[in-house]
Structure 1
């Protein structure tokens, strides 16, 4: 038996029972993400957001690594799922990333539609009227009126949107909260007997006025009658006007019989309006609508010069166009409501 003592083997470093498992790898991605998120936040909120976000990231990475995922791959996956740090910061700061959010969208849209319906059309008409009164050529009238209307529409869109975007950022109040009292009143869809009677009465008065003017005249001077319409328009040109009045009366009866406006009836009404405007503006443009003898008589007793008569003619033309346009638009609106 060998009695020579043998040195005991050196045990060496004992393995750690639990290896050091870092929750966040030493890649710097998490710190860069935290910096990018916090930099746009108020200074007093940055530390709290960083701590809260770091805890969430660590927990998500740990969950992935427990499922066997590589630490660095887990970190990248978690940060990718969190998304753009600027968007995340906007969420922490309750700062909207859209120009107009849902809180203000309906108020913005209603105001924008109202202004675009009224203001550009008004500017368009005013520019046409001003240029016409100034005696500008037709090309200049059309060009400047269209340009003015489009420019005003562009300004309305820009400034209204800018105001609401500023309200969105400032958190200003958009007005009283909605309640049932703000529901719109029901609008008339059908065509009642009173509508037909009113239309027929106005058309009958117009036809009677034309007949009166052609037979008895507007005024009598020295035993001679002076009609408003040019006597040279009788009988055929004035007869065309009376036919238009008769067709308008027939249309009123048909609409009443149908009970409501339809797209086809609105088309007929628009065509009649266009014919009436064409009849009036053509005669006005040629200077043969009004009786020349009446113009001379009024010029003598009132000292009205030719330029004043031209301005009155322009105003008369605008009145005819405005009334006819309103009549056509009203018919289309009623037809649209009836279709709904």
Structure 2
């Protein structure tokens, strides 16, 4: 993710007002926004304010940049009503971005640990995501409808906008290069290790051949799938780098990639298909303790897989929200 950069209040206001406008209109409206802000600042300076105070007062007078953009593009702020529409939309987006991925991932893991097949896990994730999303939309909307009806005499939104709420300007791609390179290196090393471990091992059989860690039977199905998924992950990292900052689309793709890797990996691990049985037998522990060691280590690996995937998915949505368009 690109780390936000600082900028003047006016620059941040213009970016906030124009970020949701189509490119063609944005090029036309940005100069109008600049002129409007400059005129407002000049009017405030005429009242004896300093440059900084005049800028702040001018932006307060102009109001929420999203409302300004809607007015210039003739985009109605309806459904809930113009007073509470932006409050409703912002809260709903935040809850959908955080609650739905967490609930869906938890449902998938629960179904997997209960012994469900891959199809059952995917169905649990999909139905939970849809159900939670529908409930969030319904209840949040209902609450705002009640608020609007009870507050019919209110002339202000629930959260009064101030220039302090302006988002930081997004920085360019250069600063995200420090995240891109380690990600690509890690994924490349991981893919190379999957291939390498098949031909090299700490343990050998009676004939002196290496005993791979991952089950050789997976080369006919799942290991090529994971290698292809790693390539997709590398492509996603490049896409994110070129895009410059997280978006909701990127966060959703990141969630799908995490599910596509974690769900089958967990299923293979917990059903005993991931690790090569010959490798387990070659581990230098008392034979009667192999099952006990596996029973203790596998849950730890499973928890680590789920924890990393959940953290990465939620982090993507949080960053998308912070750099929201």
- TM-score normalised according to structure 1 size: 0.45
Q: Higher relative contact order at CA 8 Å, sep ≥6: structure 1 or structure 2?
A: 2
If you compute each CA radius of gyration, which structure gives the higher value, 1 or 2?
A: 1
TM-score by length of 2: 0.47
